[in-house]
Amino acid sequence: MFSLRDWRRRRVLRRYPLDDGLWSGVIGGLPVAEGLDAAELENLRELSTLFLREKSFEAVHDLDVTPRMRICIAAQACLPILQLGLDWYAGWSTIIVYPGEFVHRREDIDEAGVVHEWDEARSGESWEHGPVVLSWADVEASGRRDGYNVVIHELAHKLDMLNGEPNGFPPLPRGMRPGEWKRAFSAAFEDMNRRLDAGRDTAIDPYAAEHPAEFFAVLSEYFFETPCLVRDEYPEVFAQLKAFYRQDPLRRLGQGP
């Protein structure tokens, strides 16, 4: 069946191919992309090309967002949707890039009704129906297979927001069982909080225990960056993420079936 959207995307791929040298340089410098086979690399390149045409970049504080920087962000953003497709990033269009950490004004109301306000330094942020905000310094620190990836983290929030406020329960692809997702993530989230409450160290960043939405985003980072850690710490969560993203990063490391 003819699809105007698909026709337009094919035209974009023909008219606006990524520079071979820039693409090879970016991918060659991203350990998180190691192990992708030829078909996956081609798919990632096409998704990145379309992503760059459908999303706009806005720089802050006189930052010059170069073509290499744009490709670096796009490639890491498109890795999670490699088997899902670009439509999973529908509903928003802008990426705001700061040179480094930026300040976010926070407020909270305590039990007495008193409003407390404070400034919080952030490396990334995702707004429901709004932009993704990234610190370029943190983008450069991402993709090193050390468990940290601000791009994947913020884009995981965008996936989570497809069915409402982020709560760690994104819309699931066909064939997945919501009950199994909920059981795996709830048990792991509660386990991590128990360990932290007991004063024990955790292999996964404690920030994951802040909220189920953060748990999903942080575990998504680790899934692509250090999948062995997710498998060893929370094997049922690993299985759910593998089914959700339709990818097996362990295979790329030579440790999968």
- Written as tens digits, the pLDDT of the chain (257 aa) is 557 888 888 898 899 899 999 999 999 999 999 999 999 999 999 999 999 999 999 999 999 999 999 999 999 999 999 999 999 999 999 999 999 998 766 666 767 766 556 567 889 999 998 999 999 999 999 999 999 999 999 999 999 999 999 999 999 999 999 999 999 999 999 999 999 999 999 999 999 999 999 999 999 999 999 999 999 999 999 999 999 999 999 999 888 66
What torsion do the CA atoms of 210, 215, 221, 227 make, to the nearest 10 degrees?
Answer: 130
Say if pTM beats, i.e. exceeds, 0.85.
yes
> What is the CB-side half-sphere exposure of residue 158 using CA atoms within 13 A?
28
Cα 110 from chain centre: 32
- DSSP category for residue 83: T
Beta-strand ranges (E) seen in 51-203 are: 56-59, 94-98, 102-109, 115-122, 124-126, 132-135
The C-alpha atoms of residue 16 and residue 28 are separated, in whole angstroms, by 21
What is the pLDDT, as a whole number, of residue 5?
81
The C-alpha atoms of residue 71 and residue 28 are separated, in whole angstroms, by 12
Q: Helices 212-225 and 235-245: crossing angle, nearest 10°?
A: 80
CB 196 within 8 A of CB 212: no
CB atoms near residue 139 (< 10 Å): 20
What is the pLDDT, as a whole number, of residue 244?
98
What is the pLDDT, as a whole number, of residue 196?
98
**Kindly report the CA angle at 153 between 58 and 242, in degrees rounded to 5?**
135
What is the pLDDT, as a whole number, of residue 105?
65
CB 251 within 8 A of CB 35: yes
What is the pLDDT, as a whole number, of residue 107?
64
Tell me the CATH number for domain 1-146: 1.10.472.150
Instruction: Parse the chain into domains and list their residue ranges.
Output: 1-146, 167-257
**Architecture of the domain delimited by 167-257:** 3-Layer(aba) Sandwich (3.40)
| Burial group, residue 157, by CB count within 10 angstroms (0-12, 13-18, 19+) | buried
What is the pLDDT, as a whole number, of residue 20?
96
What is the pLDDT, as a whole number, of residue 238?
98
- DSSP category for residue 145: S
The C-alpha atoms of residue 6 and residue 102 are separated, in whole angstroms, by 37
Closest CA to 204 of 230, 235, 225: 230
What is the pLDDT, as a whole number, of residue 180?
98
* Residues β-bridged to residue 57: 95
